[in-house]
Amino acid sequence: MNAFMFEIISIVIAFIAFIFAGWLYKWVEKQPSSNAKIAQVGGLIRQGAKTFLNKEYRVLARFAGVAAVLILVFLPSPIWKGEYMQNILMALSYIAGTVFSAIAGKIGIQIATIANIKAAEAAKNGIKPSFMAGFRGGAVMGMAVVGSSLLGVSAVFMITGDTTALLGFSFGASSLALFAKAGGGIFTKTADISADLVGKVELGIPEDDPRNPAVIADNVGDNVGDVAGMGADLFDSNVASMAAALVMAGALDALSGAAINVSMVFCYAAIGLLASIIGVAMAKIGKHGSPTRALNSSTYVTTAIYGVLTAAATYLFDFSWRIWGACIVGLLVGVIIGIASDYFTDDTKKPVHYVARASKSGPAFTVLSGISYGLLSVLPAMIGIAVAALAAYKLCEPMGDGYAMFGISMAAVGMLSIVGMIISNDAYGPIVDNARGLAEMGNLGDKVLDITDELDSAGNTVKAVTKGFAIAAAGLTVIALLGAFMSEVNTAAAELGVEGLVGFDIINPMVFFGLLIGAAIPAVFSAMLMLGVDRNAQRMVGEIHRQFDTIPGLKVGDPNAVPEYDKCIEIATNGAIKELIPAGLMAIIATLGVGFIGGVQAIGGFLTGNIVSGLLLALFMSNSGGLWDNAKKYVESGHEGGKGSDAHKSAVVGDTVGDPFKDTAGPSINTQITVVSLVSSLLSTLFLTMSLF
Amino acid sequence: MNAFMFEIISIVIAFIAFIFAGWLYKWVEKQPSSNAKIAQVGGLIRQGAKTFLNKEYRVLARFAGVAAVLILVFLPSPIWKGEYMQNILMALSYIAGTVFSAIAGKIGIQIATIANIKAAEAAKNGIKPSFMAGFRGGAVMGMAVVGSSLLGVSAVFMITGDTTALLGFSFGASSLALFAKAGGGIFTKTADISADLVGKVELGIPEDDPRNPAVIADNVGDNVGDVAGMGADLFDSNVASMAAALVMAGALDALSGAAINVSMVFCYAAIGLLASIIGVAMAKIGKHGSPTRALNSSTYVTTAIYGVLTAAATYLFDFSWRIWGACIVGLLVGVIIGIASDYFTDDTKKPVHYVARASKSGPAFTVLSGISYGLLSVLPAMIGIAVAALAAYKLCEPMGDGYAMFGISMAAVGMLSIVGMIISNDAYGPIVDNARGLAEMGNLGDKVLDITDELDSAGNTVKAVTKGFAIAAAGLTVIALLGAFMSEVNTAAAELGVEGLVGFDIINPMVFFGLLIGAAIPAVFSAMLMLGVDRNAQRMVGEIHRQFDTIPGLKVGDPNAVPEYDKCIEIATNGAIKELIPAGLMAIIATLGVGFIGGVQAIGGFLTGNIVSGLLLALFMSNSGGLWDNAKKYVESGHEGGKGSDAHKSAVVGDTVGDPFKDTAGPSINTQITVVSLVSSLLSTLFLTMSLF
């Protein structure tokens, strides 16, 4: 079979995924719902999420438009050099990347705001139907994201036949993800923190109490942050890993004349989606089964299927077993890193117990112990990524020049192969979280709340694992992108007839210069996002106070007193959009600055510093945040004094600190790293020819 | 003049510093003191500090003994290879490094525990005499540290004539500093946090109230953490910067046959000490002058004198103006970084005001905003270090092979040239902090307390600046040490007849492997220290509760009820010693693991990752900590509700989180980086010949 056939197969499997997603969508929609209150609140959530998304996409469309024009003029090389077709293709690929990402996010929101209602109502009939509604809702998102990334990459590659255009597509996906993740992250935590602060802490009313004017915004936030944002993030990583692998595969194939490496990338990616489809279809839970186990076992099933099918394909199509090995190493390390993050955030393990106990001495100890364990949690993941990269490299090195870096990129593809399953699990979380809120607001009673609580808690546990996984995958992907960057620079250098790169020497002061500045960027980026949440939450707290003070009967729970939910949604929306731009632009401008000052060597260092410190901070923040969240829940379930105790108050402080850590800054860093890597690759020719030094 | 003359001059100036220190010591001792209560409490502090230091040094002596035996057997090359004289010299140099560092720490504690009493009593006569007692006490430490580092380096170099032996001396200084800083840091924050937690938060008694059983331990902690620990840290950096410069200067001189570069290093270092002596001697304060201004202007005077004298020397002895430029760049960047950290921690600037205002919304916002500004504060320092390294490199590159890295090492020497002044300012802090406590316990009245408060606050402000400076200096030093490592590897490779290093290529998977693991180490190291403080503080809180519960009349303030201060000191001491070992060993063992697995390439990456993430975390933690401390003080001075308000309670939580950040983990990371760099340089031959890959 030739490469073209594999591209066709990829497209076919992408469409199978879409059809499956459509079936799941219908299935979810068909589930019964009757409660008027839930329907009403669910409608508000849906409306709020749509409003936010539309506003956000309008702003991003303007940004993307400007970027597309710049790409048209300057990339891959200035348009006045005459090769304008390349520039047009690049700009179109970029736009396609943003549009695909936006559509996937839109579909995710669409289904999530139906599935939450269904899961809430289904909980009346037990854990099984409720779980299935949540999980299948999440799976729609999973299928949509992976299907459209595979379709997009295959289509762009088939049409343009150019790997550089793929980087344009990937950059489109990334730039949208950067803002979607950051914007959604700011929105969700603004609402969450403000609702908790005034509701739970000041007034002592329960979470999800409909009196709280921010409660709908909080539920909207789960959708726009965790569903749309996380979807955009993993869409981005998935596309970037394929793009990086294809850039290198294309270069290798051009040398050998055969298209075997490109074929392999498409074949493995298609199998990954297929395995996820099977895994999702097979997911089930017993009548009294554990939702956490159900989610995890689907992941393991998918992993196993992927391993077997890729081995079969490798045998059948005579692919290299070495590259298969690299791919499997990536996959296994991804699972191991997920398990390691689970250790640091699971409420049956030592770290959560330690933090809960420390909370008895006051909030400072909650914070200190959580930060400490978060910092410790960095080690296993960093070792895992380091070992995966080294093993993939060493496995493929004997195959010849260039194969070693290609091996690393295939490890990233392997790690991301089960991403359809990962997104399904991940989107399940906010759906059942919302379902819990709806059950509370619809007065479905304590038995139903117990069920939704259990589903929600499983969502939290799995979320920690998938976040660890997402960060690790991004880590490996950007290492591969570093290789892609070098490959792009060398192609450009060959065309220009100047000396290419053999590597980035740390002893070279330009590399070191870039390294130090690159390392500072994720710190600044996350600080800007957290300050954005902080500022925005302060505005919203003011608004909640105003409503409680001016709407008669609201505080005491008069059923006729209706809070103005939309005001809170508006504040969260406007604030998020206002705060997301500067942080994203800062990262891009810093890249341009370093590149035009120090050239490609400085950029090599810059990317490296950015990856290293980005991984460090993202892992630290995500895991600390997850740990605090679960420590609070652990105390609430009756340990160390239980609800209302001093330990609980401290644990709530920890959780509040953790909120922007784990849902705003931590997971946005991923995207920041990818964007910066792609900007560098795209501008490699300019940095090579136009830098100050 | 030849190099020998400059070494002699260095030794002479070191002795002048000792004589000056002796004069200052006598001067401080001669200041009047009459209050019996102060004398008694001061005696307890002195006794406690001595007990801790003796215990710590006993443990460290055992560690150093084992390390010396290992060095004797294995370094620079295994003793059975026959060149045992080298090994003996190396082991002796190592021991000398530890002993010099220990003596300097001991002298510092000796004078600090006299000067605190004098400064407290002098405050009765106004700010001027009190300031002078505090400053001159600190200056004894400054002179002792810089004098002994210059003496030690000159003597070892003169006796052995071998730059590798210098690395042994530097490693001695570093390994002692690693444990002294970490141990002192754990001690001081254990005591500080526990005293605050029970005293201020639970019982509402003021800071430094003599009823609190932990109050003496708290004051002892200021001495062992800030005086002895910081002294050891800067002794270490100062020696390491000279050692790195001399290793490279030696290699360059060996090629050219002239000893001009070695001469230059000694000349510049000697001038640095001389400038500090003059700066200290000229320091003064008006009758109603500002102590902050007095401290800062002494620093600027020293900087100016250094610039002029080195220029004169360069002209006179025909040194290279390029290298002089590199040195001055380092010095200026050091000052600029200090000013930048000042911005993030000064209570007249925006960050402190922002954090204080955020505290009104609860402790989570204090923590979040403090962390955010701490992360932002990383940027100017990283840019500063990056620019300094780049400028020094580019300035010296035209001089020929090897001069570029030598230029960076001279920038580090330049940055550390005024370290005598820096230590004086730094040691001033804990002395006046102690004086404040003594004034409180000796009932010297509100007017005296106002004066000591002002002196203390100046100490805090200056401390933030000197910490930023110390971290930046360590950063530049370890970049230079990376050069020294390469130089050592190449010397070894030449002797073994194997291929040397031309650099560390990031694309090399071994380098990347080391990079990722190296980056995780400072995170793990600081987490271990913070958890150590946490565990130790919990033990101590238990003991304080026990005393309040079992000693009759203690809680109500019965003057006959005397708390058992020594019990608290014992807990802090034993806990610190128990907790300091694992963190330090972890860093060293990780280095050995990476080196023996991945060889010199992996170590190159490891050191780079370690430097980058170490700088990031150290700057973040030190600045966040300083910011919270000053935000709390800002609220206490009447802003945002003042003492007792909700904002104040939140600010106290921030300060407690910041305590181990700024005084335990943050500043210990410096030493961790240096130790790891030196271990690598010393073991370069072994890593080159005995690694797994």
Coil, helix or strand at residue A162: coil
Give the least confident one: A55-59, A462-466, A525-529: A462-466
- Compute the distance between CA of residue A469 and CA of residue A390 in angstroms, rounded to an integer: 18
Please answer yes or no on whether B520 and A620 come within 8 Å at the CB atom: no
**Alpha-carbon gap: A653 to the closest alpha carbon of chain B (Å):** 5
Residue A169 has pLDDT above 90, yes or no: yes
Q: DSSP character for B505?
A: B
* Chain B residues 524-543 with a CB less than 8 Å from chain A: 524, 526-528, 530-531, 533-534, 537-538, 541
**Alpha-carbon gap: A680 to the closest alpha carbon of chain B (Å):** 16
The model's confidence at residue B494, banded by pLDDT at 50, 70 and 90, is confident
Residue A304 has pLDDT above 80, yes or no: yes
Q: Which residues pair with B505 in a beta bridge?
A: A505
CA-CA distances (angstroms) from residue A150 to A166, A682, B388? 12, 21, 46
Please answer yes or no on whether A620 and B657 come within 8 Å at the CB atom: no
Chain A residue numbers touching B193 (CB-CB < 8 A): 364
The model's confidence at residue A618, banded by pLDDT at 50, 70 and 90, is very high
Q: What mean pLDDT comes out for the span B437-447? A: 87
Please answer yes or no on whether A503 and B502 come within 8 Å at the CB atom: no
**Alpha-carbon gap: A286 to the closest alpha carbon of chain B (Å):** 40
Candidates A361, A379, A654; nearest CB to B520: A379
Q: What mean pLDDT comes out for the span B413-424? A: 89
- Note whether A586 contacts B: Cβ–Cβ < 8 A: no
Look-up of token digits 């949509």: A144
- Note whether B403 contacts A: Cβ–Cβ < 8 A: no
Candidates A197, A516, A660; nearest CB to B386: A516
Return the percentage of chain B with pLDDT > 70, whole number. Answer: 100
- Compute the distance between CA of residue B95 and CA of residue B103 in angstroms, rounded to an integer: 12
CB-count burial class (<10 Å; 0-12, 13-18, 19+) for A328: buried
Q: What mean pLDDT comes out for the span B342-360? A: 91
List the structure tokens of B40: 């008694």
Q: What mean pLDDT comes out for the span B659-670? A: 88
Residue A56 has pLDDT above 70, yes or no: yes
Please answer yes or no on whether B382 and A516 come within 8 Å at the CB atom: yes
Total residues belonging to chain B = 693
Q: DSSP character for B498?
A: S
* Chain B residues 440-499 with a CB less than 8 Å from chain A: 479, 482-483, 486
Chain A residue numbers touching B506 (CB-CB < 8 A): 482, 503-506, 511, 604-605, 608
Q: What is the ipTM of this complex?
A: 0.91
In this predicted structure, what is the pLDDT of residue A1? Answer: 59
Candidates B505, B510, B517; nearest CB to A505: B505
Chain B residue numbers touching A616 (CB-CB < 8 A): 519-520, 523, 613, 616
- Please check whether residue B382 is in contact with residue A516, taking contact to mean a CB–CB distance below 8 angstroms: yes
Q: From A53, A21, A37, select the one nearest A572 (Cα to Cα).
A: A53
pLDDT (tens digit, 9 = 90+) per residue, A558-585?
878 888 888 898 898 888 888 888 998 8
Please answer yes or no on whether A393 and B509 come within 8 Å at the CB atom: yes
Give me the amino acid identity at A338: G
Residue in chain A lying closest to B539 (CA): A361
- Please check whether residue A686 is in contact with residue A600, taking contact to mean a CB–CB distance below 8 angstroms: no
**Alpha-carbon gap: A366 to the closest alpha carbon of chain B (Å):** 9
In this predicted structure, what is the pLDDT of residue A378? Answer: 93
Q: What DSSP element (H or E) covers A632?
A: helix A565-636
**Alpha-carbon gap: B549 to the closest alpha carbon of chain A (Å):** 18
List the structure tokens of A173: 């996906």
Candidates A372, A507, A526; nearest CB to B375: A526
Q: What mean pLDDT comes out for the span A108-136? A: 91
User: A76 preceded by cis ω (within 30°)?
Assistant: yes
Residue B466 has pLDDT above 90, yes or no: no
Domain ranges (residues) in chain B: 3-31+46-283+292-690
- Note whether A228 contacts B: Cβ–Cβ < 8 A: no
pLDDT (tens digit, 9 = 90+) per residue, B357-398?
999 888 999 999 999 999 999 999 999 999 999 999 999 999
Chain A residue numbers touching B541 (CB-CB < 8 A): 361
Q: DSSP character for B229?
A: I
Q: How many CB pairs under 8 A join A and B?
A: 239
Q: What is the overall mean pLDDT for chain B?
A: 89
Element counts in chain B: helices (H) and strands (E): 21, 0
- Compute the distance between CA of residue B374 and CA of residue B537 in angstroms, rounded to an integer: 24
In this predicted structure, what is the pLDDT of residue A401? Answer: 81
Residues 6+ apart with CB under 8 A from A532: A186, A575, A576, A578, A579, A580, A583, A664
Give me the amino acid identity at B657: V
Chain A residue numbers touching B523 (CB-CB < 8 A): 375-376, 378-379, 616, 620
CB-count burial class (<10 Å; 0-12, 13-18, 19+) for B255: exposed
- Note whether A373 contacts B: Cβ–Cβ < 8 A: yes
pLDDT (tens digit, 9 = 90+) per residue, B120-178?
999 998 889 999 999 999 999 999 999 999 999 999 999 888 888 898 999 999 988 88
Residue in chain B lying closest to A514 (CA): B386
- Compute the distance between CA of residue A371 and CA of residue B622 in angstroms, rounded to an integer: 15
Chain A residue numbers touching B615 (CB-CB < 8 A): 516, 519
- Note whether A350 contacts B: Cβ–Cβ < 8 A: no
Please answer yes or no on whether A520 and B613 come within 8 Å at the CB atom: no
Residue in chain A lying closest to B385 (CA): A516
Chain A residue numbers touching B612 (CB-CB < 8 A): 515-516, 519, 609, 612-613
**Alpha-carbon gap: A326 to the closest alpha carbon of chain B (Å):** 14
Residue A20 has pLDDT above 90, yes or no: yes
- Note whether A368 contacts B: Cβ–Cβ < 8 A: yes
- Note whether B344 contacts A: Cβ–Cβ < 8 A: no
More confident residue, B624 or B441: B624
Candidates B506, B516, B657; nearest CB to A506: B506
CA-CA distances (angstroms) from residue B577 to A202, B56, B181? 43, 7, 11
Residue B199 has pLDDT above 90, yes or no: no
The model's confidence at residue A444, banded by pLDDT at 50, 70 and 90, is confident
Return the percentage of chain A with pLDDT > 90, whole number. Answer: 42
Q: From B182, B187, B232, select the one nearest B588 (Cα to Cα).
A: B182
List the structure tokens of B101: 């560092």
- Please check whether residue A56 is in contact with residue A577, taking contact to mean a CB–CB distance below 8 angstroms: yes
Please answer yes or no on whether A608 and B515 come within 8 Å at the CB atom: yes
Residue A286 has pLDDT above 90, yes or no: no
The model's confidence at residue B184, banded by pLDDT at 50, 70 and 90, is confident
Total residues belonging to chain A = 693
CA-CA distances (angstroms) from residue B479 to A503, B223, B390, B485? 20, 31, 11, 10
Please answer yes or no on whether B479 and A520 come within 8 Å at the CB atom: no
Residue in chain B lying closest to A657 (CA): B364
Return the percentage of chain A with pLDDT > 70, whole number. Answer: 100
The model's confidence at residue B1, banded by pLDDT at 50, 70 and 90, is low
* Chain B residues 632-691 with a CB less than 8 Å from chain A: 653-654, 656-657, 660
Candidates A362, A389, A502; nearest CB to B512: A389
Residue in chain A lying closest to B194 (CA): A361
Chain B residue numbers touching A537 (CB-CB < 8 A): 361
- Please check whether residue B511 is in contact with residue A506, taking contact to mean a CB–CB distance below 8 angstroms: yes
* Chain B residues 126-165 with a CB less than 8 Å from chain A: none
- Note whether A503 contacts B: Cβ–Cβ < 8 A: yes
In this predicted structure, what is the pLDDT of residue A477? Answer: 86
Chain A residue numbers touching B524 (CB-CB < 8 A): 375-376, 378-379
**Alpha-carbon gap: B655 to the closest alpha carbon of chain A (Å):** 9
More confident residue, A237 or A78: A237
Mutate which of B367, B659, B661 to test chain A, going by most A C-beta atoms within 10 A?
Answer: B367
User: B430 preceded by cis ω (within 30°)?
Assistant: no
Residue in chain B lying closest to A389 (CA): B509
Give me the amino acid identity at B382: M
Q: What share of chain A is helix, strand, coil (3-state, %, to 5)?
A: 85, 0, 15
pLDDT (tens digit, 9 = 90+) per residue, A263-278?
999 999 999 999 999 9
**Alpha-carbon gap: B41 to the closest alpha carbon of chain A (Å):** 29
What is the 3 state secondary structure string of B397-418?
HHHCCCHHHHHHHHHHHHHCCC
Q: What is the overall mean pLDDT for chain A?
A: 89
- Compute the distance between CA of residue A444 and CA of residue A452 in angstroms, rounded to an integer: 11
Q: DSSP character for A320?
A: -
